[in-house]
Amino acid sequence: MFNVPSGRFSYVSMGPEFGYAIQPCYANCDNSTTGSLLTANDFQCFLNKFAAGESYANCDGSTGTPSLTANDFQCFLNRFAEGCE
């Protein structure tokens, strides 16, 4: 029995003896695939998800209450600054 890891993935494949999951670039909030992957749209996407309290915005993976804090905002900014490969 294979355990699929939690989180967002751009691709998951399960074979008879192995499986793998490819995580997308976290900062690519709008999941764009053409042009520059990271744009102002990604920043706005994160702000909307953060304001709505969506679990995606829990960038630092904290489990306390509240789950969304300034640390999540800083985490996203750091990942956005790192860029995507």
Count of domains observed in the chain:
1
Query: Does a structural domain hold residue 2?
Result: no
Mean pLDDT rounded to a whole number for the chain: 80
DSSP secondary structure, 17-70, as one string: S-EEEEPPPTT-TT---SS-SS-HHHHHHHHHHHHHT-GGG-TT---SSSS--H
Residue 68 has what DSSP assignment?
-
| Both structure tokens of 46 | 């994160």
Question: What is the predicted pLDDT for the residue at 42?
Answer: 93
Query: Does a structural domain hold residue 20?
Result: no
pTM: 0.70
Interval 48-69: pLDDT, tens:
999 999 988 998 888 889 889 9
Host domain of residue 48: 26-82
